[in-house]
Amino acid sequence: DIQMTQSPSTLSASVGDRVTITCRASQSISSWLAWYQQKSGKAPKLLIYKASNLESGVPSRFSGSGSGTEFTLTISSLQPDDFATYYCQQYSSYSRTFGQGTKVDIK
Amino acid sequence: QVQLVESGGGVVQPGRSLRLSCAASGFTFSSYAMHWVRQAPGKGLEWVAFISYDGDKKYYADSVKGRLTISRDNSKNTLYLQMNSLRAEDTAVYYCARERIVGATVDSWGQGTLVTVSS
């Protein structure tokens, strides 16, 4: 199975900060990567698909980049609504593994 | 709009069985592949199983292979997860999720149903 490793596990930041989360795959997944946001007690929400495509309705402060084995999710200016946990997921193989998550909390 | 509503969760003893359902509406269910994803309390997301739009292809996480079975009834717009030989480590919120037709991204999720395996 393809392993997905996110870093950091926790990130403390302030409103207005630029935030970057990294996701690494154990083998090449081309651009078959999605990013999700999850708030406590809620279902995940799709933010980015195919590594860099912004899902409809998602604010433009979110962006994704990367291909192969290394990917990043960037929030250009953190807003109060963005404090949440973020997950990457590969869909290169039928075993759709997730990263372990990155919790973004208030500094 | 897309709606996925899971049901069937509850408290069950180790070794027993449970069947989860996911009722779909707001889209042509029979055209979409579907997934089950779970989340143990306080933990991250774990992909569980996949089923193709027509039910012909099914894939499972190693952790559930041989015990959990995904199926669907396109005439009832419903996805199922049959859970047998349940273990404490199966305790989680179980989400059903839709896979986009083009590009294979999982784009819509239900609200989840909690399964607790405990004696």
Residues B56-96 have pLDDT tens digits of 999 999 999 999 999 999 999 999 999 999 999 999 999 99
Residues B36-46 have pLDDT tens digits of 999 999 999 99
A38 touching B (Cβ < 8 Å): yes
Whether residue A87 and residue B95 make contact (CB cut-off 8 A), yes or no, is no
**Spacing of C-alpha B88 from chain mean position:** 18
Band of residue A94 on the pLDDT scale cut at 50, 70, 90? confident
Whether residue A95 and residue B106 make contact (CB cut-off 8 A), yes or no, is no
A64 touching B (Cβ < 8 Å): no
Expressed in percent and rounded to 5, the helix, strand and coil fractions of chain B are 5, 50, 45
Token pair in block for residue A32: 């078959």
The answer on pLDDT for A68 being more than 90 is yes
Closest-CA distance of chain A to residue B109, Å? 6
Contact B56/B30 with Cβ under 8 angstroms? no
Closest-CA distance of chain B to residue A102, Å? 9
Whether residue B106 and residue A89 make contact (CB cut-off 8 A), yes or no, is yes
| pLDDT at res. B104 | 86
Residues A12-30 have pLDDT tens digits of 999 999 999 999 999 999 9
